[in-house]
Amino acid sequence: MSSVHEWIDANRDRAVEELIEFLRIPSISTDPERSDDMRRCADWLARRLGGAGFTRTEVIPTGGHPVVWGEWMGAPGKPTILLYGHYDVQPVDPLELWETPPFEPSVRDGNLFARGSSDDKGQIFMHVMALESYLRQTGRLPVNVRILFEGEEEIGSEHLTPFIRKQRERLAADVAVVSDTAMFAKGIPSLTYGLRGLCYMQVEVTGPRRDLHSGSYGGASRNPLLALATILSGLQDRDGRVTIPGFYDSVRPLLDEERREFASLNFDEDGLRKEMGVEELWGESGYTVLERMWARPTLDVHGLWGGFQGAGAKTVIPSHCGAKVSMRLVPDQDSAAIGKLFTEHARRLCPPGIQLQVSDVHGANAVIVPLDHPAIRAASRAIEKAFGRAPVKIREGGSIPVVGTFKELLGMPTVLAGVGLPDDAAHAPNEKFHLENFHGGIHMAAYLYEELAGM
Ligand code: BES
Ligand code: ZN
């Protein structure tokens, strides 16, 4: 075992160099022009797994971007782990705000800056290094390992659910392991036990059949942009509560014990406010900010289009406009059911004579991982060994759609052992990964496989 950790230390620089190679591939899943890069990235990963000693690897096509699959099943009698990660990354705009180009990784002050460095290529690569350390130093792994790296997480994992249904046997395992979350704060190792779900909708509004001169026709037609504004403003009240009837019906209330546990984390609200660059924190009244971000559902508008966006003025009543809206969900809300409630409410809010089209973009259900599961306790020990202190138990406001699918389709819990930091700027310009966490994360992954062998 110690030789494994010595190997990890001895290969520290090589790990960073290879991660840089991985990060150079612009695997932006949402961009149709990058589909060749997506394929190249999947091939790179599969090849790299082969280099680590995985004899069975495959790049498997789906209806969308390919899945990278692999397995090492040489530990009969030991548990089987399903390691999941995503090799796709978010778009890079606004490009001009990056200090160094997003796909030319650069190390500054102990951080590696590049798109995907923290979310999630750096965290995938920790596991690849940890697996390689065992295979090279001992010729085997402490547990059986199956690998599922997908290329569509950032766009809702649309083709992954049918893939999992079809490949049930090749993915069968006792527990899933995912490193795609962040620590509570720098220097505070964390174990995440909850993720929010998501219901992402698109709203489109059409009025007159073509754009109209607002002088000639103003007074004769409803304005689609105002109709859209009416709909959007009817989704939330002034106290930050979502006003869709039935929205809260299946929300699992926060227990007093959970509220006490959240409070005991002494979350730095003012630090968050400064990091965000806002005058005040705002959200549903009656809850602390941690409660609102981790355990309460929310609604946000992500984009609006329609009408005149250029410089100066143009007097027009636009024919068509739209918006992207999503709701973060908590247990036990069902994403599909919430989508229906949203659509019905938007219809009620839509003024007469305006055509409304509401479509479902993607969705995922929230998850809570049972903290008393042996795999979670094993992860807690592994984190402590790697980072020198027991992890705090946290929830996360973001979503990882497949985690709910693992539970629903494969009946499997997921260990969420991520080592990102809250200020890694995931999805934003100048995304970075703290190299100390990368290195500690490789040790953590190695301890984790050993701890899971004895669970
Ligand atoms: N790695 C994130 C999930 C996450 C977010 C972890 C914030 C920790 C902090 C993941 O890649 C992600 O961004 N997921 C999307 C999923 C969506 C597109 C279905 C999200 O949460 O928006
Ligand atoms: Zn991610």
Residue 261 located in a structural domain: no
Q: What is the CATH number of the domain that holds 40?
A: 3.40.630.10
Q: From atom 1 of ligand 1, which residue's Cα is the shortest distance away?
A: 180
Same domain, 184 and 203: no
Which residue of the set 88, 150, 152, 424 is catalytic? 88
Give me the catalytic one of 119, 120, 152, 153.
153
* One domain, residues 103 and 114: yes
Residues 357 and 370 occupy one common structural domain: no
From 345, 363, 381, the end of a domain falls on 363
Judgement on whether residues 441 and 308 belong to the same structural domain of the protein: no
Whole-angstrom distance, CA of residue 252 vs CA of residue 371: 17
Q: Which domain holds residue 305?
A: 197-249+295-363
d(CA 262, CA 230) in angstroms, rounded, equals: 36
Q: Please, are residues 146 and 82 in contact by the beta-carbon 8 Å criterion? A: yes
Look at residue 260 and tell me if it is in a domain: no
Helices then strands, each counted (H, E), the chain: 15, 18
Q: What is the Å distance from ligand 2's center to 117 Cα?
A: 10
Q: Are residues 77 and 118 in the same domain?
A: yes
Q: Is 88 a catalytic residue?
A: yes
Residue 160 forms part of a structural domain: yes
For residue 86, give the ligand 1 atom closest to its CA.
11
For 54-110, what is each residue's pLDDT tens digit?
Answer: 989 999 999 999 999 999 999 999 999 999 999 999 999 999 999 999 999 999 999
End residue of a domain, out of 363, 395, 417: 363
| Residue 152 within any structural domain of the chain | yes
State both tokens at 332: 């036990």
DSSP string covering 265-298:
T---HHHHHHHHT-SS---STTS-HHHHHHHS-E
**What value does the mean pLDDT take over residues 408-430?**
96
Residue 225 has pLDDT above 80, yes or no: yes
What is the arithmetic mean of pLDDT over 427-441? 98
Considering only CA atoms, which of 404, 353, 54 is closest in space to residue 221?
Answer: 353
Q: Are residues 79 and 119 in the same domain?
A: yes
**Residues, CB within 5 angstroms of ligand 2 (ion):** 119-120, 180
d(CA 60, CA 49): 15
Q: How far is the CA of 154 from the centre of ligand 1 (A)?
A: 7
Regarding the beta carbon of 25 and ligand 1, being less than 6 Å apart is answered: no
Instruction: Please check whether residue 118 lies inside any domain of the structure.
Output: yes
Task: Kindly state whether residue 266 falls inside one of the protein's structural domains.
Answer: no
Fill in the DSSP letter of residue 233: H
Per-residue b or e along 51-79, where b marks 16 or more CB atoms closer than 10 Å to that residue's CB: ebbbeebebeebebbbbbbbbbeebeebb
User: Does one domain contain both 320 and 436?
Assistant: no
Q: How far is the CA of 417 from the centre of ligand 2 (A)?
A: 12
Tell me, yes or no, whether 350 and 374 share the same domain: no
Residues 183 and 112 in one domain: yes
Mean pLDDT across the chain, nearest whole number?
Answer: 97
How many domains does the structure of the chain reveal? 2
Same structural domain, 384 and 325 = no
Q: Is the residue at 170 inside a domain?
A: yes
pLDDT digits (tens, 9 = 90+) for 112-130: 999 999 999 999 999 999 9
- What percentage of the chain reaches a pLDDT higher than 90? 99
Question: Which ligand lies nearest to the CA atom of residue 399 in the structure?
Answer: 1
- Cα 401 to ligand 1 centre (Å): 8
- Shared-domain flag, residues 178 and 206: no
In the numeric block, which tokens belong to residue 219?
Answer: 């007074």
Taking 90 as the threshold, does the pLDDT of residue 360 lie above it? yes
Burial of 107 (0-12, 13-18, 19+ CB in 10 A): middle
Check if the beta carbon of residue 343 is closer than 8 Å to that of residue 423: no
Give CA separation, 141 vs 52, 68, 364, 452, in Å. 12, 20, 33, 11
Q: Last residue of some domain: 326, 344, 363? A: 363
Is there an atom of ligand 1 within 6 Å of 120 CB? yes
Q: Give this prediction's pTM.
A: 0.95
pLDDT at 1 over 70: no
% of the chain at pLDDT higher than 70: 100
CB 304 within 8 A of CB 227: no
CATH number of the domain bearing residue 230: 3.30.70.360
Longest CA–CA span in the chain (Å) reads 81
Q: Is residue 141 part of a domain?
A: yes
Q: Which pLDDT value is given to residue 434?
A: 98
Would residue 17 show up in a list of annotated catalytic residues for this protein? Answer: no
Task: Using the predicted structure, report yes or no on whether residue 2 has a pLDDT greater than 90.
Answer: no
Same domain, 301 and 386: no
pLDDT for 397: 97
Rg of the chain over all Cα atoms, to the nearest angstrom: 23
